[in-house]
């Protein structure tokens, strides 16, 4: 029999490793889930691949493509499991990391907020040189200073070094010379230069990003080497790609050189898939939420397009690379419910993780989690969790809830469990409100798209809290981020900072800058070996009103940057500024600060996954579920038995192999032709809001 072509995507989360695979010839798609192995995530990845191969009847030789999202970089930063590093910068700027910005979260605090310093002062070194803002050499690189700094770095014990000189983005000659000298003196040192990682203005953000990249290089390189070795040892020959924060894929070698671009690796896949499903169902304005075991990720899709920003943040550290605009809080199925010293109930951000996991997993957990509470309230079925492969301990969950929450608060078990869920709902709704309100948007104008293993049990109640009228549950929501990763393309991001006033006559300067970026992007895609028809080059501009200290990213449509094109670009900036900040100033000049390019290589030849055939009689089964302050009898349905066009009225519980969806009273759900589920608030319920 001819070899099949199976594409596989893996999303390694904090609790579970999710897999989606696609038979390119038939369009058949399957999902698979296995526990994450925190001691070595590559073990869980191969467990998922071999488990799926055994279940769905293909061999490792059939795998033509493997791409995965990883939290290895994110976890290393959050846990501070990073190697010792050094920083070389222009003399006099060694304390930029410590000074930071003047922004203050608490303006009435008498002392400055503590700042995260990944490199201590004793390993931050200044070199005598100076480049001007236009790239002119104001002070040549001093050879004696270079020799001295290189020796200090070599003697410091650092395993990684960041080189970030002032205005190095405008002229990288001095950074390149320093790297060559340092590499010759310390061949095993991981070196990261700012002109390669973040070639943009703003020294604090650029230095912070370069430092993070340098410290992550040994971490990601070790992981990539172990992953490739494990894949090779088990006979998997398919090319491997990793997903970046912008939703695009990259090679293992490129990921090891720019690991800072992996910080939102897994969640970005879910946003990519949400954008496609929203378009398929005709919902242009959607809030996509991914609730897994440890976190809750929120992304806004407006006008059918996901938001991409030029700068994000992780654990208080600015990261100036393109990434999907997303807000993350510590709230998931494994989030722990606990009381503080004053008796106040908290849920998260502490999580039981993959090990020991929730109490009901029977792996040694002792504190109740959101999953335990859902089990106690009948929302989860102990016998059918993970398709019946993983029996849950109901009595253990009840005992933990009684001991840690109910008795200390003087509540009965049901009231305590309902209180935990009320706190969870408020936290999840709050994250969505913040993501929309900061853009001047009203939640009631958006639909909620819920995915992730834990999201289906909370989505409708969160929508009710926000006044939303529609909730979308995509097909196979538990492995939805892996589904998005499966559709990733290769993406190279490049940027040039050059401040240009967008007044009449500026088109020549902007077009020249664009030509530089377009040539660089075309060369990168050529090196990837992609055919001309599979390449795309997309430009965007960071614009601001003169005098502002921040920019808005505005896409550039088409490939012409003539005077008419710049006039249209100015109009789009005015409109975006008004939408974001409720005003625009057409009398003020607009400045282009940074021009950006996304060089996209379409990994084509992939059939669109078709919806599984469904039909048959729905099983006449029900169970008691705690909803609206009391226990009610709710029908329990298997989604695989619901044909397209089916309409359900709440209350109802819809079970899938890897997740459970809850439809409360007052809501109606229909099964779309694609297999996606759309829940809407019934008119009578809407009037009560």
Which CATH number goes with the domain that contains 508? 3.30.1490
pLDDT exceeds 90 at position 654: yes
Rounded to two decimals, what is the model's pTM?
Answer: 0.80
Identify whether residues 211 and 227 lie together within a single domain: no
Name which of 83, 14, 19 is nearest 53 in CA terms: 19
CA distances for 106 relative to 102, 109, 114, 352, angstroms: 12, 6, 12, 31
pLDDT, one tens digit per residue, over 88-138 is 999 999 999 888 887 776 778 787 777 778 999 999 999 999 999 989 999
Q: Which pLDDT score, from 0 to 100, does residue 49 have?
A: 93
Identify whether residues 526 and 497 lie together within a single domain: yes
Identify whether residues 42 and 150 lie together within a single domain: no
Identify whether residues 45 and 83 lie together within a single domain: no
Q: Which pLDDT score, from 0 to 100, does residue 620 have?
A: 58
- 103 in a structural domain: yes
Residue with the bigger pLDDT between 213 and 605: it is: 213
Mean pLDDT of 343-347: 91
- 307 in a structural domain: no
Identify whether residues 200 and 88 lie together within a single domain: yes
Are the C-beta atoms of 231 and 240 separated by less than 8 Å?
yes
Q: Which pLDDT score, from 0 to 100, does residue 604 have?
A: 65
Mean pLDDT of 181-198: 95
- 279 in a structural domain: no
pLDDT, one tens digit per residue, over 617-631 is 545 588 999 998 899
Specify the number of domains making up the chain: 3
- 410 in a structural domain: no
Q: Which pLDDT score, from 0 to 100, does residue 246 have?
A: 81
Identify whether residues 182 and 204 lie together within a single domain: yes
Identify whether residues 98 and 69 lie together within a single domain: no
Domain final residue pick, 546, 569, 601: 601
pLDDT exceeds 60 at position 210: yes
Q: Which pLDDT score, from 0 to 100, does residue 159 have?
A: 96
DSSP letter string, 464-510:
HHHT--EEEE-SSGGGHHHHHHHT--EEEEEEEEEEEE-STT-HHHH
Mean pLDDT of 182-205: 93
Q: Which pLDDT score, from 0 to 100, does residue 687 have?
A: 44
Cα 109 → chain centroid: 32
Identify whether residues 37 and 89 lie together within a single domain: no
pLDDT exceeds 70 at position 647: yes
Identify whether residues 69 and 133 lie together within a single domain: no
pLDDT exceeds 50 at position 613: no
Q: What domain range is 109 assigned to?
A: 78-221
Cα 199 → chain centroid: 23
Sign of CA dihedral 257, 263, 268, 270: positive
Q: Which pLDDT score, from 0 to 100, does residue 616 have?
A: 46
Identify whether residues 564 and 547 lie together within a single domain: yes
CATH at 24: 3.30.420.40
Identify whether residues 85 and 216 lie together within a single domain: yes
pLDDT band at 406 (very low <50, low <70, confident <90, very high): very high
Q: Which pLDDT score, from 0 to 100, does residue 33 have?
A: 85
Domain final residue pick, 601, 630, 665: 601
pLDDT exceeds 50 at position 559: yes
Domain final residue pick, 567, 601, 635: 601
Are the C-beta atoms of 200 and 206 separated by less than 8 Å?
yes
Torsion of the alpha carbons at 220, 225, 226 and 230, rounded to the nearest 10 = 140
- Cα distance from N-terminal residue to C-terminal residue, the chain: 60
- 374 in a structural domain: no
């Amino acid at each position: 029999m001819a070899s099949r072509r199976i594409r596989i995507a893996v999303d390694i989360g904090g609790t579970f490793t999710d897999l989606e695979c696609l038979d390119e010839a038939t369009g058949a798609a399957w999902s698979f889930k296995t526990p994450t192995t925190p001691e070595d995530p590559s073990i869980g990845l191969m467990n998922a691949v071999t488990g799926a191969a055994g279940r769905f009847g293909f061999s490792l030789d059939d795998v033509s493509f493997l791409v995965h999202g990883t939290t290895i970089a994110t976890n290393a930063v959050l846990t501070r499991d990073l190697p010792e590093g050094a920083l070389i910068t222009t003399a006099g700027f060694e304390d930029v990391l410590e000074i930071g910005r003047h922004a203050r979260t608490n303006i009435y605090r008498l002392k400055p907020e503590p700042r995260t310093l990944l490199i201590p002062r004793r390993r931050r070194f200044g070199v005598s040189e100076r480049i001007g803002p236009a790239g002119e050499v104001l002070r040549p690189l001093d050879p004696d200073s270079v020799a001295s700094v290189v020796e200090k770095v070599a003697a410091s014990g650092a395993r990684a070094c960041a080189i970030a000189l002032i205005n190095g983005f405008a002229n990288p000659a001095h950074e390149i010379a320093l790297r060559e000298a340092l590499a010759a003196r310390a061949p095993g040192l991981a070196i990261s230069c700012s002109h390669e990682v973040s070639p943009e203005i703003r020294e604090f953000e650029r230095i912070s990003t370069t430092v993070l990249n340098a410290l992550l290089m040994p971490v990601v390189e070790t992981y990539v080497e172990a992953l490739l070795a494990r894949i090779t040892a088990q006979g998997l020959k398919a090319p491997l790609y990793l997903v970046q924060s912008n939703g695009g894929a990259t090679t293992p070698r490129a990921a090891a050189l720019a690991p800072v671009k992996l910080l939102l690796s897994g969640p970005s896949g879910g946003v990519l898939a949400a954008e496609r499903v929203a378009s398929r169902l005709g919902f242009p304005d959607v809030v996509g939420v991914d609730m897994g075991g440890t976190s809750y990720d929120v992304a806004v899709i407006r006008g059918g397009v996901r938001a991409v920003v030029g700068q994000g943040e992780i654990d208080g550290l600015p990261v100036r690379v393109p990434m999907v605009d997303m807000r993350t809080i510590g709230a998931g199925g494994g989030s722990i419910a606990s009381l503080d010293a004053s008796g106040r109930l908290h849920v998260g951000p502490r999580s039981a993780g993959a090990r020991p996991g929730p109490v009901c997993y029977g792996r040694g957990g002792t504190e109740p989690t959101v999953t335990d509470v859902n089990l106690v309230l009948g929302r989860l079925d102990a016998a059918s969790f993970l398709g019946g492969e993983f029996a849950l301990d109901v009595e253990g969950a009840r005992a933990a809830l009684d001991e840690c929450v109910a008795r200390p608060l003087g509540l009965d078990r049901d009231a305590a469990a309902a209180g935990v869920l009320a706190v969870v709902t408020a936290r999840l709704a709050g994250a969505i409100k913040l993501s929309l309100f900061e853009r001047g948007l009203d939640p009631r104008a958006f639909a909620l798209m819920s995915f992730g293993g834990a999201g289906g049990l909370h989505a409708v109640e969160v929508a009710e809290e926000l006044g939303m009228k529609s909730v979308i549950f995509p097909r196979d929501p538990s492995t939805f981020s892996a589904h998005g990763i499966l559709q990733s393309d290769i993406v190279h991001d490049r940027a040039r900072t050059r401040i240009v006033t967008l007044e009449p006559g500026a088109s020549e300067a902007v077009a020249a800058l664009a030509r530089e970026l377009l040539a660089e992007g075309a060369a990168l895609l050529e090196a990837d070996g992609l055919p001309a028809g599979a390449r795309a080059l997309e430009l965007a501009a960071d614009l601001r009103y003169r005098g502002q200290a921040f920019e808005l990213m505005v896409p550039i449509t088409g490939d012409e940057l003539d005077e008419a094109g710049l006039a249209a670009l100015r109009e789009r900036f005015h409109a975006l500024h008004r939408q974001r900040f409720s005003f625009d100033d057409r009398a003020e000049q607009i400045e282009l600060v940074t021009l950006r390019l996304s060089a996209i290589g379409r990994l084509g030849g992939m059939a669109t996954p078709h919806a599984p055939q469904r039909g048959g009689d729905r099983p006449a089964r029900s169970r008691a579920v705690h909803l609206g302050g009391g226990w009610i009898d709710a029908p329990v349905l298997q989604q695989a038995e619901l044909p397209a066009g089916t309409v359900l009225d709440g209350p109802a519980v819809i079970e899938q192999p890897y997740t459970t969806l809850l439809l409360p009273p007052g809501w109606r759900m229909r099964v779309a032709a694609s297999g996606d589920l759309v829940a809407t608030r019934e008119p009578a319920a809407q009037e009560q809001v």
